[in-house]
Every structure is written in structure tokens, then in C-alpha cells.
């Protein structure tokens, strides 16, 4: 696991080794063990190394092939590299190390872009072919590892993190306001664009090639893998469950490949508990597990994690986060993520990563199964709402508007009941944007956008809807899972990568082996959601590993007591900072409307926690990242609040 960065120009440039060193220095946390550079005067590649496989100097990067015509910088792990090596050696390729980096280099030399179909793992890399004068870049199928790039017709630059790109003198921190509506609605940018004008993400499952021999070079971007459409298969429940267990065991075993200590993030939920239990069976030595929680016990899963650790016999470690810990760390973590943080759980993830870094260099995590097997409650709730709407939608529009108005404004209903009913068909529209997206992403609605913000109109859910429409011939659950895998999951994985790498540890996601994902698309709906039980097939597959009171407990989903904290009078200065007239936020928000929203939240008549979280993150991001306010990052948010 490492950090990569580099750039090339189509015409002579005055920026050289010093610029590349600045770019890699910005991501030193991704690879504190070693660094290296390639510079041929026009193409410059840099690398920061976190040593996991083949700890010797032979594994250093940039790495070359035998005649030094090819050079690679690479971030990730290809877990099946040993199985590819014999065929490459038989074809005449000579190895100088035992690491997967060299296999990727030789595989590209042997098979070109087709080599990507042979890899099982997570990766982002760039290969410069000095003979053909071609740069080839690729990102893994699910987007586990990040790859950001800049292209302006003359300069092509890439990096594992945006902050490295911003160290190039020709790349500026220009904010793109056209994406602000998507951020405020969705919580993040779900497509190729970022909040920085001109900086983009290479989509998961895509490669990019830039040929400098062309008269007018342009990046060629192609998709090499996509989540396959469901193909119905007739099998018994027992057969589906047995295959799920076999595949899960295989992918966990594969991700134990390491020459350094590894552990497990254990939340006490189904996913992490299943992986931890299998790790314990597969590892000859002790298994270390790590959990995070809060003093507010209603929001903490530490008890479940502790119970599971005792059940399987791991060396268990815990960290408890306070309200002060959380907000004090926020500016630094926004700097690490480069864009506003989508979910409060990123902060929790950082603290458990920091805890784990004192013991291990690699952790396994449980991301991915909810998007594969229908684990989120919103999938079931959407199906219920959709079914009820088929009947309720027959009522006259005027009647339905009147009912919705009464629910939203009635003083006879508590704020909590109004909020719950607001998620039902009684208030929602019939389309997927209202019943699913606006309903569960808790952002600003279209009306609020018009009332509170001065923004150019953009469809905030256009990327999600593109994938939803692309899967138009699939059942509703399959459409939701596909669109979430292409949008929501990619952002979750970015959070996982940035927060773990901020602490210089590698995180691996066994559920997201692409062959396991492909298997999940064939699993019928009845095996994913049965009655009120999500992830039915997975729970049945690991029933012998996990105590029933953990296996079948209600899903908590890495909760954070953010609402309670933002209702605390001690957090009042955090809300006050949103109304500073000199901020970037002030350029786009209607101050009286914002003041009314904050007042309703303070009085408890409206729960605006998620919307305030997005505004607060945007405000801190603009100060720390766009304006380069290092003092706020170094001192922490609460130090500034106390002044």
C-alpha cells in the first residue's frame, strides 16, 4: 500500500524534480517507509512506500522491467500475483523481487490492457512506456484505491490524493460551484468530477492511456469491467448458502497475504464479525481486533465488539471518542480527505485506524456486503413505500398534498413523529428520487435549495439516476444495489482509504473481491431480503460463526451521536461559525433562511443534523483546503471556537 504521483507535459516545462518531490511529500503518510522518483526530463513519476510484501529493497518503486523501457508506480495489492508469475516466467520475463508490483509490470508487457482482467485485488498504477512514449494508468474494478488526475491539454498529472496534485504550480485550488448542489443533497460528488475545477477521478474499472506520439494527445479512457447484470439461476437455498460460505472463505484467505502483522476492524456487526471469525480459524498466530465507540452508550457498539472478540478469542483493543476528540480532529481529517467529509463515521474510522497503527500495518474491514446483499434498511423501506404508493397514489393530488401538509406542520404531532412520517409515502412523491434518494440521504431538498442557496441549477442525483436508468430492465432491488455500488460504495471506499492511510496502515476489503461481487449479482432477491431480514444469505452462511444475538441484532451502521452533540449548548459556536459573512459559504447561502434553519434545530422543532453537518464540513474545507489555513488544521476546531 502506497502513494503515487506524477506528471508529464506535451511541451517543455520548467517544473521538474522539485515539484515532484513536493507532490510526494504531501502524501508522505501513505508511504513513510521509503520513496523514489523517475525523471526523464518530460515524464516524472513519484512513489511513497508502505512496505507490506517483499520488505527488501528489491520491492522499491519506481520499478523497471529488464531493459528499463517500462517503469511503474503502483498503489495496492494484487492478491493472486503468485499464480500469474509462472506463466510470465515461462514467457521469458525475469523477476528481481517477490512483490506484486513486478508481476503487474511484466503482465502489462506481456498482455497489455488485457492484463487487468487477470488481477484479483485493489490497485491504482501508472506505467510509462519509454519506447512507445505512452502512459498507461488503471484503477481497480470497485474503486478501492483512488486515482485523481488533471489534464489541461498540455499538463497531465495524477496522484493518490488531491493534495498532491495541488502542489504542482500549474494546478490551482479553484472551487467548482456547479457541484455544490450535489454535495448538499447527496453528501459527496458521486461522479468523475470533484469540487476542484479541472481535477477528476478515474472511474473504477477503467483505464486511461495518453500517447505522446499523437499530433494532439488526448487521454483515452475505457471501461474494462462493470458489475454484471443479474442472471437467474435455479438453485436451492442450501446451494446458494454453501457457495456464499465457500467464496467468503476464499476471499478472506486470499487477503491474509502479508509479510507484516495484520488485524481486523471489529464493529460487532455481521460483516466484521464473520471476517474476524474466519481470520481466527485461518491464522496460526494471535488475531488482533480493533473497535471504536463513544461514552454515549446508545450510540456505541463497543459491547457487541467485545462480546464477539471474547467469543472467538482475539486480542482486542478499544478506543472511546469524546465530543471534544471528534470536533477537535475534524479540520485535520477534512484535509486528509481533500473534500468535505460525507459521513461522521469517517472521524470514528480515523481513531480506530490510529489505534490499530500502534499494533499492525494491515487491517481487514467489512465494507461492501450491504451493497451486495441488500443489508441497508432503506432497501426494505423503499420496497414497502413503493408498494403502499401504488394504492395511495390513486388518491387525488389535492388530498395527498393536504395530508402531507398536515403531517409536516401539525402541532399535535411531536417533531420525532413528524420526522418518521416524513419518510413515508404519506409525504413523499412517487419517484425514486423522492422515495429513495431524498428520503435516505437526508440532504437539502429541491425546495430548500431554491429557498436557501444561490446556485446554478444542476440535477443533484444525475449520476445515481444514470446508473439507475442503465439497469432499467432489472428488478428494483438490483437497480438500487447497482447504482449504490457505482456511487455510494465508491465514496465509502474513499473514506476507508483516506482515513486508514492517514495513519499509515493498509485496509483490505474481502467482500469486494470482484468474483464475489459477480456472484452476488446472481443471488436471487429472496436470498438477499427475506421478510424483514436483510443479507439473509450471508447470515445463514456464517450462522455457525457468530452468536445469534449479534448475528440477528438490528443494524446500527457505525453510528455517531452527532445529533446529540449538535444539540449540546457547547456546540453553539460551531453553528455560529456557519453565519460568518466572510466565508465561502456566505457567497452561496441566504443568511436569513440559514438562521431560521439553525434556530429551528436549536429549539428542537426540526432535526437538521445532517444538513448542518454538510454545511459545517464545507465551511471548514473551504478554510483549510481552499484557503490553506494550516493553523485551523494544526490547532483543531475547538481551539478556534474557544477564542
Q: Which residue numbers are catalytic?
A: 2
Residues recorded for the chain: 643
Beta strand 262-265 pairing with 362-364: parallel
In this structure, the number of other CB atoms found within 10 A of the CB of residue 533 comes to: 14
In this structure, the number of other CB atoms found within 10 A of the CB of residue 215 comes to: 4
CA distance 514 to 350: 26
The reply to whether omega before 35 is within 30° of 0 (cis) is no
Coil/strand/helix, residue 487? coil
CA distance 465 to 230: 19
CB 269 within 8 A of CB 547: no
Cα 558 to chain centroid distance, Å, stands at 14
CB 563 within 8 A of CB 607: yes
Sheet holding 155-159, edge to edge: 34-39, 43-49, 2-9, 155-159, 148-151, 199-201
> Cα dihedral angle (115, 119, 124, 128), rounded to 10 degrees?
-30
CA distance 132 to 375: 47
Burial class (CB in 10 A: 0-12, 13-18, 19+), 263: buried
- Which three three-digit cell numbers place residue 455? 446556485
How would DSSP label each residue in 548-590? HHHHTSPP--S---HHHHHHSGGGHHHHHGGG-TTSSGGGTB-
CA distance 529 to 475: 13
Beta strand 362-364 pairing with 288-294: unpaired
Amino acid at each position: 500500500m502506497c502513494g503515487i504521483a506524477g506528471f508529464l507535459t506535451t511541451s517543455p516545462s520548467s517544473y521538474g524534480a522539485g515539484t515532484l518531490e513536493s507532490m510526494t511529500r504531501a502524501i508522505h503518510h501513505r508511504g513513510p517507509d521509503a520513496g523514489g522518483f523517475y525523471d526523464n526530463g518530460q515524464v516524472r513519476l513519484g512513489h511513497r512506500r508502505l512496505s507490506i510484501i517483499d520488505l527488501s529493497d528489491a520491492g522499491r518503486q519506481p520499478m523497471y522491467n529488464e531493459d528499463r523501457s517500462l517503469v511503474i508506480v503502483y498503489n495496492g495489492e494484487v492478491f493472486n500475483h503468485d499464480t500469474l508469475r509462472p506463466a510470465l516466467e515461462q514467457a521469458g520475463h525475469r523477476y528481481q523481487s517477490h512483490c506484486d508490483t513486478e508481476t503487474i509490470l511484466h503482465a502489462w508487457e506481456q498482455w497489455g490492457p488485457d492484463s487487468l482482467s487477470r488481477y484479483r485485488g485493489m490497485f491504482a498504477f501508472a506505467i510509462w512506456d519509454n519506447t512507445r512514449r505512452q502512459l498507461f494508468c488503471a484503477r481497480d474494478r470497485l474503486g478501492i484505491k483512488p486515482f485523481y488526475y488533471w489534464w489541461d491539454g498540455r499538463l497531465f498529472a495524477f496522484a493518490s490524493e488531491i493534495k498532491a496534485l495541488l502542489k504542482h504550480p500549474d494546478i490551482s485550488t479553484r472551487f467548482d460551484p456547479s457541484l455544490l448542489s450535489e454535495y448538499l443533497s447527496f453528501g459527496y460528488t458521486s461522479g468523475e468530477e470533484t469540487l476542484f475545477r479541472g481535477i477528476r477521478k478515474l472511474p473504477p474499472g477503467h483505464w486511461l492511456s495518453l500517447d505522446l506520439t499523437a499530433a494532439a494527445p488526448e487521454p483515452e479512457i475505457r471501461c474494462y469491467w462493470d458489475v454484471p447484470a443479474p442472471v437467474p439461476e435455479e438453485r436451492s437455498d442450501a446451494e446458494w448458502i454453501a457457495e456464499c460460505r465457500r467464496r467468503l472463505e476464499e476471499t478472506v484467505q486470499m487477503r491474509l497475504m502479508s509479510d507484516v502483522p495484520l488485524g481486523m476492524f471489529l464493529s460487532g456487526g455481521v460483516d466484521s464479525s464473520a471476517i474476524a471469525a474466519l481470520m481466527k480459524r485461518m491464522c496460526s498466530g494471535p488475531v488482533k481486533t480493533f473497535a471504536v465507540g463513544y461514552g454515549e452508550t446508545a450510540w456505541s457498539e463497543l459491547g457487541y465488539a467485545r462480546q464477539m472478540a471474547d467469543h472467538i478469542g482475539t486480542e482486542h483493543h478499544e478506543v472511546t471518542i469524546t465530543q471534544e476528540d471528534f470536533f477537535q480532529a475534524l479540520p485535520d481529517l477534512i484535509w486528509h480527505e481533500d473534500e468535505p467529509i460525507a459521513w461522521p463515521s469517517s472521524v470514528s474510522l480515523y481513531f480506530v485506524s490510529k489505534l490499530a497503527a500502534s499494533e499492525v500495518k494491515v487491517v481487514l474491514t467489512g465494507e461492501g456486503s450491504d451493497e451486495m446483499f441488500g443489508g441497508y434498511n432503506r432497501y426494505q423501506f423503499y420496497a414497502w413505500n413503493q408498494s403502499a404508493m401504488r394504492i395511495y397514489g390513486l388518491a387525488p393530488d389535492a388530498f395527498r398534498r393536504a395530508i402531507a401538509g398536515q403531517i409536516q406542520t401539525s402541532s399535535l404531532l411531536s417533531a420525532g413523529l413528524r420526522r418518521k412520517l416524513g419518510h413515508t409515502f404519506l409525504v413523499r412523491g412517487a419517484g425514486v428520487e423522492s422515495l429513495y434518494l431524498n428520503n435516505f440521504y437526508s440532504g437539502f431538498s429541491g425546495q430548500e435549495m431554491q429557498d436557501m442557496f444561490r446556485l446554478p441549477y444542476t440535477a443533484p442525483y444525475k449520476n445515481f439516476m444514470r446508473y439507475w436508468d442503465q439497469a432499467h430492465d432489472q428488478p428494483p432491488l438490483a437497480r438500487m444495489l447497482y447504482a449504490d455500488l457505482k456511487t455510494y460504495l465508491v465514496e465509502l471506499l474513499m473514506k476507508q482509504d483516506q482515513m486508514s492511510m492517514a495513519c499509515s496502515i493498509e485496509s483490505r476489503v474481502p467482500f469486494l473481491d470482484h468474483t464475489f461481487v459477480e456472484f452476488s449479482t446472481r443471488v436471487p432477491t429472496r436470498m438477499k431480503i427475506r421478510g424483514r431480514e436483510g443479507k439473509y444469505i450471508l447470515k445463514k452462511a456464517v450462522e455457525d460463526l457468530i452468536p445469534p444475538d449479534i448475528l440477528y441484532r438490528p443494524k446500527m451502521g457505525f453510528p455517531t451521536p452527532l445529533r446529540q452533540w449538535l444539540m449540546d449548548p457547547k456546540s453553539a459556536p460551531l453553528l455560529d461559525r456557519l453565519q460568518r459573512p466572510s466565508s465561502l459559504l456566505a457567497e452561496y447561502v441566504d443568511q436569513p433562511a440559514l438562521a431560521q434553519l439553525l434556530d429551528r434545530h436549536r429549539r428542537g422543532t426540526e432535526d437538521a443534523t445532517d444538513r448542518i453537518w454538510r454545511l459545517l464540513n464545507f465551511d471548514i474545507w473551504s478554510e483549510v483546503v481552499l484557503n490553506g489555513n494550516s493553523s485551523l488544521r494544526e490547532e483543531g476546531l475547538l481551539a478556534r471556537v474557544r477564542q
